[in-house]
Amino acid sequence: MAAPEPVRLLVHGASGRMGLEILGAARQRRDCEIVAAMVRAVSPCVGEPVSRKLPGFEPDLEFRPTLDPETAIDVVIDFSLPDALDTALGIARERRVAFVCGTTGLSLEQKNRLQDVAAHIPVLWSANFSLGVALLKRVVALAAAQLGDEFDAEILEIHHRHKRDAPSGTALALGQAIATARRQVFEDVARLSRDGIGSGRLPNEIGFASLRAADVVGEHTVIFASESERLEFTHRANSRAVFASGAVRSAIWLARQPPGWYDLADVLG
């Protein structure tokens, strides 16, 4: 039986930190290939061969601000900025191909738009493509359901100094998992920051704290604390490669799925 054709990937935001990691991760696999590396029109990388940043790629693969109409793609992987989402999503919608998005800091309107488009193409958005984080979400949801309101829930996240959104998308996703397990409305119980003199910790709230320092890839700790004991669940990412490999794996899987809204848990099975 012949092996299936490699999945053809377009990486949007290709010259960024995660974009380069995804290009490198895809190059290590035989079941996919990079056919387009897109960047903003104002990027200094426009027209530059990808091989200058990542040796091993064919010299004709260049960073481009647009997609050649003749280039066939199977999936778009978007790791850019919120204000660039429409460009990537528009390509996927027009070409009727799968869309994998790891861009964080999206507005509620943008998230709703993603879910609307899922009626026409397969869409997978995740704040974190680490398999360990996917498992952490399951664990904290179970803990929240079992421990109940007697335990305070707090989430601490640490990232590199260049990260723009806070709390991180992963921290928010962990908080949403806790709220869902407790049958709470996340927006009603999320305390995204604390400042000044207030009323102290409110009942049932889920607190968030964000730190930014140096080149920390990503660290998330979920704390459940009662008057007499405390549980802490921590995930540390030592390299962005873990997110890139998860995103590429998701893209290959998603390219073969029907239209719909998917989660990293679906990829894991």
Catalytic site positions = 159, 163
Inter-residue contact 74 to 97 (CB < 8 Å):
yes
Write the DSSP assignment of 167-206 as a string of letters.
S-HHHHHHHHHHHHHTT--HHHHEE----SS-S-SPTT-E
| Tokens 């459940």 belong to residue | 224
Please give the C-alpha separations between residue 142 and each of 87, 249, 264, 268, in angstroms, as whole numbers.
38, 26, 18, 18
Cα of first residue to Cα of last residue in the chain, in angstroms, is 25
3-state secondary structure of 140: helix
Distance CA 200, CA 266 (A): 39
How many residues are there in the chain? 269
Strands 63-64 and 206-212: unpaired
Q: Residue 227: left if φ>0, alpha if ψ -120 to 50, beta else—which one?
A: alpha
Closest C-alpha among 98, 155, 103 to residue 127: 103
- Give the pair of three-digit tokens for residue 97: 């191909």
